[in-house]
Amino acid sequence: DSGVTQTPKHLITATGQRVTLRCSPRSGDLSVYWYQQSLDQGLQFLIQYYNGEERAKGNILERFSAQQFPDLHSELNLSSLELGDSALYFCASSGRDRVTSRTSGNTIYFGEGSWLTVV
């Protein structure tokens, strides 16, 4: 158990709908990351938040958005869903920050993932 909690574990929804995926990072971790894993694209970085602020952005579609709340949990909102959005969405967390990141050997811990199926 990595300590990163994601809900829901499985989700089936129709095209055009909107869903919200939730993530609670490991206790004390300030950074939260979202990744998408699909058969054709592999593991793709979507977005990172650090202590409530957006830190880095990857290949995240405009239909997708995320935020990190004061209690450090994060939500990934996926809207106007398409069949191609079906994937495993991972949340990850780490305790690293910009100051210590070059010297820290802290790893990035992944949650169990949320399986999204769009039909």
Partner 1 sequence: ELKVEQNPLFLSMQEGKNYTIYCNYSTTSDRLYWYRQDPGKSLESLFVLLSNGAVKQEGRLMASLDTKARLSTLHITAAVHDLSATYFCAVDGLFGNEKLTFGTGTRLTIIP
Which residues sit at the interface with partner 1, rule CB under 8 A? 2, 31, 33, 35, 42-45, 48, 55-56, 58, 88, 90, 92, 94, 96, 98, 101-102, 105-113, 115
User: Measured from the CB atom, is 40 or 71 closer to partner 1?
Assistant: 40
Is residue 22 within 8 Å of 75, Cβ to Cβ?
Answer: yes
User: Measured from the CB atom, is 80 or 107 closer to partner 1?
Assistant: 107
CB of 83 to partner 1, least distance (A): 20
CB of 16 to partner 1, least distance (A): 27
The terminus-to-terminus CA distance of the chain in angstroms comes to 31
User: Measured from the CB atom, is 4 or 118 closer to partner 1?
Assistant: 4
**Which residue, 71, 64, 72, is CA-closest to 35?**
64
User: Measured from the CB atom, is 96 or 118 closer to partner 1?
Assistant: 96
For residue 23, the cross-strand partners are: 6, 74
**Whole-angstrom distance, CA of residue 87 vs CA of residue 108:** 20
Structure tokens at 105: 């050997």
